[in-house]
Amino acid sequence: MEKTYSIKEVADYFKLPISTIRYYDKKGLLPFVSKNEAGYRVFSESDFGFIKTICCLKNTGMPIKDIQTYIELCMQGTRTIDQRKEMLQQHKQNVVQKQQLLAESLQEINTKIERYDSKDSQTIISAQIKFVKDEKRDLHLKDPFI
Amino acid sequence: MEKTYSIKEVADYFKLPISTIRYYDKKGLLPFVSKNEAGYRVFSESDFGFIKTICCLKNTGMPIKDIQTYIELCMQGTRTIDQRKEMLQQHKQNVVQKQQLLAESLQEINTKIERYDSKDSQTIISAQIKFVKDEKRDLHLKDPFI
DNA sequence: TTAAACCCTAAACTACGGTTTATAGCAAGC
DNA sequence: GCTTGCTATAAACCGTAGTTTAGGGTTTAA
């Protein structure tokens, strides 16, 4: 016999607070979850697959409303495959763009860390401060350094 | 003579709403910006460097409060280099972790797109639906498909 | 000199993604 | 039979990161 799972077991597995799972359910992200006679949520193995997808979309920044739309399409069977594909392709573009921005910004952070880490850091930063101070003075603007 | 810039010019350059720049100033992210007699913000070339750094930290998910702390350290001169380095190193770890999670999730999204895109998509998805239906029936749980 | 386009502040408002609180039912262990 | 601990709902609340609005003052160009 296959096992069923409580909300706590699911929460522990996905490292999500129970309150978040209930919130997702309220927002229509978990239409596949049943309830028992007492009104308790009862999860099956296959629900874990859906929830993994939800986490994946959430982790990549898809808004709750859009995840809800996607899941709803999933519940409508094979006839929504094209719509789902289009949603994911659009979302993928966003994610790739996010990745690029992240990579570029990380690049900059690394450059700064290297500068701070170099043996000439004092000299380099001093020169930068002097540059700013000179520019501000030339423009009759206040010196921003304390 | 060097040029100064208005808030609108800065907003256009960084593609940020003017309201966001004012918000950042209010939150203490722009202590290096001067004001003229009329109370208008006056930006210099070197301010663009600081703002670029702010955008970089924001784009990588650093909270406004932490960016404020970092900028404050910058304004205290060379004696805060070690603290700044440590902040950025810590932040870098977060960013790398974010990158990994993003890459993994993108992987999953790609797998799904491929599945939706394959010529057997109907068959594959139908099999998945059958699997879920069977499991739910075995457990006496309601069928989630419409 | 007057309209258009710009700038300011303060404070209220918004969206998002939950979290907390308050109420209560049920079930197992002591 | 009492406590502990799980579950439920609904509604209030929270932090973050802005955005909008109200009520001004300033600058520029015709």
Is A59 within 8 Å of B102 when comparing Cβ atoms? Answer: yes
- Decide: CB of B136 under 7 A of nucleic strand D: no
State the pLDDT at residue B2: 81
**Alpha-carbon torsion angle A20, A23, A28, A32, nearest 10:** 50
State the pLDDT at residue A1: 62
- Closest residue (CA) to C1' of nucleotide D16 is B63
b or e along B101-124 (b: 16 or more beta carbons within 10 Å of the residue's beta carbon)?
ebeebbebbeebbebbeeeebeee
Identify the H or E element spanning B42.
strand B41-42
Note the CA–C1' distance, A128 to C18, in angstroms: 43
CB-CB neighbors (< 8 A) of A122 in chain B: 78, 81
State the pLDDT at residue A18: 95
Q: Is B15 exposed, middle or buried (0-12, 13-18, 19+ CB in 10 A)?
A: exposed
b or e along B22-48 (b: 16 or more beta carbons within 10 Å of the residue's beta carbon)?
eebeeeebbebbbeeeeeebbbbebbe
Closest CB from A52, A116, A122 relative to B84: A116
Q: Which regions of chain A are under pLDDT 70?
A: 1
Per residue in B55-84, pLDDT (tens digit) is 999 999 999 999 999 999 999 999 999 999
Q: Which of B138, B139, B140 is the best mutation test for A, with the most CBs of A within 10 A?
A: B139
CATH 3.40.50.1820 fits domain A1-63: no
d(CA B30, CA B24): 7
Note the CA–C1' distance, A20 to C18, in angstroms: 7
Rg (CA), chain B: 25
* Per-domain residue ranges of chain B: 7-110
- Decide: CB of A33 under 7 A of nucleic strand D: no
Per residue in A7-17, pLDDT (tens digit) is 999 999 999 99
The listed CATH number (1.10.3720.10, 1.10.1660.10, 3.40.50.1970, 1.10.10.60) that belongs to domain B7-110 = 1.10.1660.10
Note the CA–C1' distance, A38 to D7, in angstroms: 8
Strand C: which nucleotides have any atom within 7 A of a protein Cβ?
Answer: 6-10, 16-21, 26-27
State the pLDDT at residue B126: 98
Per residue in B76-135, pLDDT (tens digit) is 999 999 999 999 999 999 999 999 999 999 999 999 999 999 999 999 999 999 999 999
State the pLDDT at residue B49: 98
d(CA A38, CA A60): 35
Residue matched to tokens 């997702």 = A24
